[in-house]
Structure formats: structure tokens, C-alpha cells
Structure 1
Amino acid sequence: MEVNADDFFKAAALDKPRVTNKVGSNVTLINVMQIPGLNTLGISIARIDYAPLGQNPPHTHPRATEILTVLEGTLYVGFVTSNQPAPNRNKFLSKVLNKGDVFVFPVGLIHFQFNPNPHKPAVAIAALSSQNPGAITIANAVFGSDPQISDDVLAKAFQVEKNTIDWLQAQFWENNHN
């Protein structure tokens, strides 16, 4: 009874390019936090801006499938299947998308987008099958956690020297905790 039109509206939410971050992307998510009327509707939308050679790094949405449409530019996109029996274990599926092309990332799978053009930005719109899809950026979660995951654990998991893990953790710790 208290609902009004503003509960279903967000003015000029996705019309302007945004400044990109260190890896060359900016995700402007419109979910239930910005539009309360999305509550229980199972959808959200995002604008993703990519600098030249920018990326939306490997990440996953634990609660949503994503369908991405390129509005401007070119994107190299892909996802990895999850622990399938041999011979298809962790199969990598990818495509190069141009303006107007559409690609789907199934719920929970690690995926990315990369603008291969060194001179022009790219823009995409993503629709997600959840009012609050969540996002887990893999490198940030693994190397930038607080407290840090033991370098012994990560060195063994990634099969690299501990000093490599220490270096990676330092990169993400500085970015996430300053």
C-alpha cells in the first residue's frame, strides 16, 4: 500500500560512460538496492564500460546467469565449465563479440570479458537472473582476502613458489586495504 512509482525507477542510471578501474573496467550494477521494486522479481541489469585493452577480470555470480550484449566495440569473452568428468574437465568456451552480439554465462561459472582493441573503448549491457546476483572476483578473493590465506596453501594450490604468492598477495592487499 505504501509503494509508489519511484520504487520502480532510477533516473539516468546507465546513460553515461564511467571512469574505469586499474584493470580497465567499470561495472554499474542496478539491482534491488537501487530499485526496490525489483524485490522478488529475479532480475537486475548492469552497464559495463571497458577502456582500450581493459577487462572485467575472471569472476562469478553465485546467484545468477548473465546475458551480455555488446553496445559498442569488440569484446573477447569466455567462461570455464565446472569440474566435469574427463574428457571435458573445466572446458573453456570463448567468443569474440562485436556490436549487437549476445553471449550467455551460466550461473556460478567463472567468466570474463576483455576489450582487445588498444585504441577504442567498449560498452556492454548485462542482464542477470537475480535481484542481487553477487560477484566474486577470483583474484581479489584469493589473493586479497582479510586475513590473508596462507601462502603455503596457495603455493601448493597454484603449484608455484611461495615468493610468487607473497608478491601476488602484496598487489591485491595494497589495492584492497588502503
Structure 2
Amino acid sequence: MALGTDYETQDCSLARALEIVGERWTMLILRETFFGVRRFTDFQQRLDISKAVLTQRLSTLVDAGVLERQPRGGRTDYVLTEAGLALWPSLHALIRWGDGRSDPVRRRRIFSHSGCGTDIDEFGRCPACGSVPGPTDILVRPGPGLGTPTRTDPISLALRDERALLTPF
């Protein structure tokens, strides 16, 4: 029997979520939106993704209500909706899992609570104040696991410094 290409026959909330965010490239596109990328050409440059695949993934995210298109200066920005912002804890957990969970030396990016300046833990909590800050209250900066950056595009250069999540480029 051939392996299916979707989860439509699954009666499961996780399967429904994977229908939207489970395609290759989708979580990387979402990561970039949290970092502040909004324009098609910036996504393409940062991810080295084909125009066709990027177009399809962005359309899926817009149709699902995760992103919305906003016209700006003759171009279109892709901006997270409330549904998209709600994906932050999952994305953060996957980033930390990819870093080796609790090994601070391997972290490529450090996330901190902008309210008190304390690094958030692997569960997204601020150890200093006990809150779980949302993406609008989080700063990101390079971590020791990032190594020597090789990319020289303007967004990669800007991500070498601390900046607030969701701040547009």
C-alpha cells in the first residue's frame, strides 16, 4: 500500500496541525517571520528556497489564517496573525530541541525576556519572574553555538545583534 501524502483521513488534532505546518520549509518560514522577515524576496534569500515552493507555503499559511498579506509600499508583507503568534511556544521548543535542549554551549540563538532581561529556559519560562513571555516580549541574540556566521545578506548581518522578535526588517 502506498504511503499517503496528507493527513486528511486522520482523526487527530496533531494531524490537522501538520496539514498546515508539517510541510518541509514551513517551520523555517515561520522562524523567519518571528525574526522579522516579511517580504517574499527576503524569505527566498534567507532560506535559499525556490519561488514555487515559497509561493505554495506562504499561500497555505495565509489560507490557514497563520499569516496575512499586508500591502506596503507597492509590495506585500507577510505578517503573523494571532493564530501564527500562538505557534511561538512550539517553534521555540523545536529550536531548543535542535540545540540539544539544555546544553547552553550548543545554543545558536539565545532568547530572553525583554521585561527583565533574563534568558528564558527550554520551556519558554523566565526564571527571574516566572512568566512565560510571548513573542512580543522576547529578545533574540546569537548564542555560542552559532559559530562564525558566513552569510552576509542584510538580515543575517542584523541577526548578529540582539533584537526584539517580530521587529520588521
TM-score under structure 2 normalisation?
Answer: 0.30
Greater relative contact order: 1 or 2 (C-alpha under 8 angstroms, separation 6 or more)?
1
Higher strand share: 1
